[in-house]
Amino acid sequence: MKRLICISNRVQAASSGASSNRGGLAVALSAALRESNGIWFGWSGEQTDEFTGQISFRRQDGVATATIDLEAQDIEEYYNGFANRTLWPLFHYRLDLTEIARDFAGGYARVNQRFAETVAPLIEPEDMIWVHDYHLMPLGQRLRERGFSNRLGFFLHTPWPPASLMMSLPGHKDLVKSLLSYDVIGFHTDEWRASFIDYIVTHLGAELDGDHALLDGRSTRLLICPIGLDTSEFTAARDTPAARSAQSRLISSAVGRQVIVGVDRLDYSKGLQERFMAYEQLLTTRPELRERLFLLQIAPPSRGDVPSYQQIRAELNALSGGINGEFASIDWVPVRYVNKGYAREELFGIYRASRVGLVTPLRDGMNLVAKEYVAAQDPEDPGVLVLSRFAGAAAQLDAALIINPHSSEDMADAIARALSMPLEERRERHAAMLASVVKQDVRWWSARFIAALEAPEPSKDRPRLT
Ligand code: GDG
């Protein structure tokens, strides 16, 4: 297989055991890179006084990494700005939180140019290049402009928003057009791909030939490629002391009460306020359940420099405090709200000890927590996954209890149903979901994307502009 160069905003090779709040991308990419013997290039997460483009090479947990430091202005305008205050909310359908500023757009263009300049000397003619996520959409075009004719792929880990929302972004046409410099673009679901196709056909005049988009003589394959879990690595946690200890601590502290668990980065896309409100609805309308259950919400803070994240944190503090103040008794706390991360092994034990897994984002590209919850269950006595229809994962995990997170009543009904679900139905639903989690795991995902990247063009006659 040809050498693979992965490029993403941050380089955080996965290391099991460490307590962290690494995103799904880190977990997935390390597995893919170890197998392909590739290089992972990106920002170190460090700040430098002046950008030099100097690369630090390391080997982290079996993965070769190459990182650069960025200037304070880059971090503010590109990362905190355009990536996290403009594109992230826009791509999660939150126009109300989308901040438009020319400085942000300028910083985004500058850092993408810097990525292209610094990664260029590492690229050999035969390498395949796989760029990740919304931070680096124009990078493919910047590399083409430098004369690279390598196979170039891009994977979007978030949803793709409807064209009507995309149009609120100044310069949207150039940005989307730049994506068509790639040979392959991967999406988690048919829904995100369909939104993209709608945009490029309506606003760019692109044509479709099967799953290829054609524009200006270039052809780009639009691939549905749902990310999966490193299922075997994750389930290997079962017999570790950390998993056993977390599981038994949670069970013994529950003193017979049923555990409902949520594990999410503290992010407004995850629907945490709506989840707390639905739980409050459950306790209000079903008093017989009080004292017989509790909600454990693990929510490690993320992107704390961004004002909307500070605000959601304050709102969640108020909501959880309000529920506890209203319903707690001398020996029962209805919400255990924890703003810190746990090691993956501990998470395994926590999922396994929980009767209900609540994954209720308002919008999510995929959501790996849903798959982790399924993988961690005891197949003989599994818990029940309550899953938002707006998570990409719902397209695969349709044996979950699928809910609308905007309806507290809908969610409260589903939690009540999950708590009283007969064993046989739990087993059936779990078996169906586990089969999909095992079959379409992270190796399946990376192999599918890489196969598309390696595949020859459908028509050799079609002129290609570089
Ligand atoms: C983006 C997309 C897409 C969470 N708390 C702890 C912890 N985590 C881990 C989870 C899971 C990962 O973080 C979160 O992944 P998600 O997929 O749920 O969400 P995002 O971070 O928003 O990821 C998403 C993903 O990219 C991949 O394409 O699925 O839709 O938004 O693995 O377990 N890990 C540890 N301790 C914690 O406390 N160790």
ipTM score: 0.98
- 113 shares a domain with 47: yes
Yes or no: say if 402 and 359 are a contact pair by the CB < 8 Å rule: no
Is 465 inside a domain boundary? Answer: no
Atom of ligand 1 nearest to the CA of 365: 30
- CA gap 7, 70 in Å, rounded: 15
Residue 369 Cα to ligand 1 midpoint, Å, equals 6
Residue in 367, 373, 390, 396 to alter for ligand 1 test, most ligand atoms within 8 A of Cβ: 367
The Cα-based distances of 160 to 10, 90, 164, 200, 428 in angstroms read: 21, 9, 11, 12, 33
- CA gap 255, 331 in Å, rounded: 11
Is 460 inside a domain boundary? Answer: no
- 345 shares a domain with 244: yes
- 290 shares a domain with 425: yes
| Closest alpha carbon to 456 in 121, 188, 219 | 219
Helix axes 24-36, 368-376, angle to 10 degrees: 80
- CA gap 437, 430 in Å, rounded: 10
Kindly report the number of other CB atoms within 10 A of residue 180's CB atom.
22
> Residue 287 carries which DSSP code?
G
Residue 301 Cα to ligand 1 midpoint, Å, equals 12
Is 245 inside a domain boundary? Answer: yes
The residue whose CA has the least distance to atom 27 of ligand 1 is 24
Q: Can you spell out the DSSP letters for 90-135?
A: HHTT-GGG----HHHHHHHHHHHHHHHHHHGGG--TT-EEEEESGG
Of 267, 364, 413, 441, which one is the catalytic site residue? Answer: 364
pTM over 0.90: yes
- 244 shares a domain with 105: no
Helix (H) / strand (E) element for 156: namely none
Residue 14 Cα to ligand 1 midpoint, Å, equals 12
The residue whose CA has the least distance to atom 8 of ligand 1 is 21
- Give the angle subtended at the CA of 216 by the CAs of 154 and 449, to the nearest 5°: 20
Please give the pLDDT value at position 278.
Answer: 98
Is 459 inside a domain boundary? Answer: no
289 CB under 6 A from ligand 1?
Answer: no
- 284 shares a domain with 148: no
Is 85 inside a domain boundary? Answer: yes
Q: Can you spell out the DSSP letters for 217-257?
A: TEEEEEEE------HHHHHGGGGSHHHHHHHHHHHHHHTTP
Is 463 inside a domain boundary? Answer: no
Please give the pLDDT value at position 275.
Answer: 98
**pLDDT tens sequence for the chain (466 residues):** 788 999 999 987 655 444 444 545 666 677 678 877 889 999 999 999 999 999 999 998 788 999 999 999 999 999 999 999 999 999 999 999 999 999 999 999 999 999 999 999 999 999 999 999 999 999 999 999 999 999 999 999 999 999 999 999 999 999 999 999 999 999 999 999 999 999 999 999 999 999 999 999 999 999 999 999 988 888 999 999 999 999 999 999 999 999 999 999 999 999 999 999 999 999 999 999 999 999 999 999 999 888 999 999 999 999 999 999 999 999 999 999 999 999 999 999 999 999 999 999 999 999 999 999 999 999 999 999 999 999 999 999 999 999 999 999 999 999 999 999 999 999 999 999 999 999 999 889 988 999 999 987 765 444 444 3
Distance of CA 256 to the CA centre of its chain: 34
The residue whose CA has the least distance to atom 38 of ligand 1 is 341
375 CB under 6 A from ligand 1?
Answer: no
**Residue 307 is part of which domain span?**
231-439
Compute and round to an integer the Cα radius of gyration of the chain.
22
Please give the pLDDT value at position 415.
Answer: 98
Atom of ligand 1 nearest to the CA of 229: 32
- 236 shares a domain with 158: no
Q: At CB < 8 A and 24+ separation, what contacts does 283-289 make?
A: 283/323, 283/327, 283/334, 285/412, 286/412, 286/416, 289/416, 289/419
CATH number of the domain encompassing residue 239: 3.40.50.2000
The residue whose CA has the least distance to atom 32 of ligand 1 is 24
Would you call 364 a catalytic residue per the annotation?
Answer: yes
Please give the structure tokens belonging to residue 418.
């999950």
The Cα-based distances of 169 to 113, 165, 429 in angstroms read: 20, 8, 41
- 179 shares a domain with 316: no
Residue 264 Cα to ligand 1 midpoint, Å, equals 7
> Around 272, how many Cα atoms within 13 Å sit in the side-chain half-sphere?
32
357 CB under 6 A from ligand 1?
Answer: no
- CA gap 117, 107 in Å, rounded: 15
Is 426 inside a domain boundary? Answer: yes
Residue 326 Cα to ligand 1 midpoint, Å, equals 31
Residue 24 Cα to ligand 1 midpoint, Å, equals 4
- 253 shares a domain with 211: no
Would you call 190 a catalytic residue per the annotation?
Answer: no
Atom of ligand 1 nearest to the CA of 157: 28
Q: Is 140 helix (H, G, I), strand (E, B) or coil?
A: helix
The residue whose CA has the least distance to atom 22 of ligand 1 is 23
Atom of ligand 1 nearest to the CA of 359: 18
- 408 shares a domain with 374: yes
The Cα-based distances of 326 to 145, 258, 435 in angstroms read: 61, 20, 41
21 CB under 6 A from ligand 1?
Answer: yes
Of 157, 188, 212, 430, which one is the catalytic site residue? Answer: 157
Please give the structure tokens belonging to residue 127.
């390498």
Please give the pLDDT value at position 456.
Answer: 75
Please give the pLDDT value at position 34.
Answer: 80
Residue 300 Cα to ligand 1 midpoint, Å, equals 11
| Closest alpha carbon to 181 in 203, 204, 210 | 204
How many domains are contained in the chain?
Answer: 2
The residue whose CA has the least distance to atom 13 of ligand 1 is 23
Please give the pLDDT value at position 17.
Answer: 40
- 182 shares a domain with 263: no
- 156 shares a domain with 51: yes
- CA gap 287, 310 in Å, rounded: 33
The residue whose CA has the least distance to atom 28 of ligand 1 is 157
Is 464 inside a domain boundary? Answer: no
- 247 shares a domain with 149: no
Please give the structure tokens belonging to residue 36.
């392909």
